[in-house]
Amino acid sequence: MKKSMSPQCGRCESKECRDGMDCFSQTSNHRQLYQDNHIAELHKAASAIEERYYGKETRLGEIILFAKELGYKKIGLAFCIGLSEEAKIIDEILSKYFEKAGLQKTDSIGINPTILRSMLDMKIAIASGKGGTGKTTIATNLAYSIAQMGKAVQYLDCDVEEPNGHIFLKPYIKETHDATITVPEVNTELCDGCGKCGQLCQYSAIICLKNTPLVFEQLCHSCGGCMLVCPTDAITETQKPIGFVDSGAADSVKFVQGRLNVGDVRSPTLIKKVKERTANDGLVIIDAPPGTSCPVIEAIKGADFCLLVTEPTPFGLNDLKLAVGMVRELKLPFAVVINRSGLGDEQVYQYCDKESIEIILEIPDDRRIAEAYSVGKMIIEVLPEYRNDFLRLYESISKRKAGQKV
């Protein structure tokens, strides 16, 4: 290193400091810094701990020894709220060596945890016009981020044909219940072939052909009307399995999912059964099926707010328009999340601007996110800085629900 240059450790290839080379002493500006008694004391203590314990102690062990070398009696602990659980462990360790670890939460992310916990209990549905846009990515990361702040959170996977929230949340399933529906069963000995049942059924789930009743179970909506109008009491109801409802927990996130039997088409009915387990308090995140058909309607109806997840591509725009029409018809307040932003063109942004639709969050087209997804990891696991974005997302939605300006 030239004597006139300031040390640039990151670019140094020789690393002569390992052999005792004092690069900092070669520049007058750094020598002046070490004339400060406090800095000199820190430097001396740090050098002593490095020389004695490098490669022998953990980083936390070195910090404890460093503080003791300086004669400190107390040590403070500052941390991001998202690392609260880890901070508790560190606090317990530090408390063994110092009078008080001084556990102190910071609001560096700009969201006070007490305020966040007191925000409105509400149901947020995550939907999209097409599959593969990232609904589950948004839903799981949002649920887990908020739960880590101490808010009661429940995640409902209503994409019952292909539930995949469990891949990322990795819940412990405590109980599984069979999901069944009632369908008509006709006693042909009592039936007189009047056809009133078929005349009533709007779905043609039961008809009479030449005075012979036929039941199409997959079309049945379990209203029981055919049984009520039968003059001979020839129709009774029987239970038919359509799938399963699993309940459990993923750390502090309450978890419920539906699993539709292969070949069955009655997903709206199973979605109803999943939603029957909705918690009475806290935040509920509803991971809806893709599209805009009956299963989606069943999943998102009754929600307080709907997030429409899309991507900046022509396909994404086409299906976003359908989804926007759906939520407007249902009169649900909504906003748009753009996943993989930077991937395609500007048409989605232009459409949202024209329709006065707020884009409340953008997730960039980042290879690291894709790699995490491919191995079943959430964004906030590999890129913790995104936790703040999801917390602010919830804060914004909560303020809108409360009628506050954002």
Please write down the HEC assignment for all residues of 155-220.
EEECCCCCCCHHHHHCCEEEEEEEEEEEEEEECCCCCCCCCHHHHHCCCCCEEEECCEEEECHHHC
CATH 3.40.50.300 location in the chain: 114-152+281-401
The residue to which tokens 């670019």 are assigned: 11
* Residue 248 main-chain phi, psi, to 5 deg: -175, -150
Taking a C-beta distance cutoff of 8 angstroms, is the pair 229, 197 a contact? Answer: yes
- Quick one: pLDDT at residue 329? 96
Q: At what angle do helices 347-354 and 314-329 cross, to 10 degrees?
A: 20
- Quick one: pLDDT at residue 3? 44
DSSP-derived letter for residue 7 is P
What's the N-to-C CA distance of the chain in angstroms? Answer: 53
CATH number, domain 182-240: 3.30.70.20
Other CB atoms within 10 Å distance of the CB of residue 320? 28
pLDDT digit of tens for each residue in the chain (406 aa)?
444 445 566 667 777 766 666 666 655 555 555 666 767 777 788 888 887 888 788 888 888 888 888 888 777 777 777 777 888 888 888 887 877 544 444 444 455 565 566 567 899 999 998 888 999 999 999 999 999 888 899 999 999 999 999 999 999 999 999 999 999 999 999 999 999 999 999 999 999 988 889 999 989 999 999 999 999 999 999 999 999 999 999 989 999 999 999 999 999 999 999 999 999 989 999 999 999 999 999 999 999 999 999 999 999 999 999 999 999 999 999 999 999 998 888 999 999 999 999 999 999 999 999 999 999 999 999 998 898 899 989 988 988 877 755 4
- Quick one: pLDDT at residue 118? 57
DSSP-derived letter for residue 369 is H
Q: What does the alpha-carbon distance between residue 17 and residue 142 come to, in Å, rounded to a whole number?
A: 46
DSSP codes of every residue in 311-363: -SSHHHHHHHHHHHHHHHHTT--EEEEEEEETSS-SHHHHHHHHTT--EEEEE
Identify the burial level of 152 via C-beta atoms within 10 angstroms of its C-beta, where 0-12 means exposed, 13-18 middle and 19 or more buried: middle
Q: Which two tokens stand for residue 75?
A: 């040590």
Helix, strand, or coil here: 77? strand
Q: What does the alpha-carbon distance between residue 287 and residue 293 come to, in Å, rounded to a whole number?
A: 15
CATH 3.40.50.300 fits 114-152+281-401, yes or no: yes
Helix, strand, or coil here: 361? strand
Q: Which two tokens stand for residue 33?
A: 């810094």
Can you give the pTM of this predicted structure? 0.71
